[in-house]
Amino acid sequence: MMSEKEIINLLLDENINDDDKDKFLDEISKHPKINDLKRIVDSLSKLNENFSLSLRLSLNTP
């Protein structure tokens, strides 16, 4: 697994080639913190949907 520093360096690299990009995407998808972030984003997205629906219902708008 790539270290956080390696991931950051790849993110900052403007001359990344396709092979490195594929490797990066594969590695970052395995990173535990990325999985935590995905869960947080999913939860926030669902919360936002529920809030929007609730607000529309309370305002009686379609």
User: What confidence tens digit (pLDDT) does each residue in 14-36 have?
Assistant: 787 888 778 777 877 777 788 78
Amino acid residing at 26? D
Check residue 27 and give its pLDDT. 77
Assess whether pLDDT exceeds 70 at residue 62: no
Q: State the chain's mean pLDDT as an integer.
A: 80
Q: Quick one: what percent of the chain has pLDDT higher than 90? A: 0
- Roughly how many angstroms between the first and final C-alpha of the chain, as a whole number? 48
- Give the predicted TM-score (pTM) of the model: 0.44
Residue of 10, 6, 4 whose CA lies nearest to 32: 4
Check residue 6 and give its pLDDT. 80
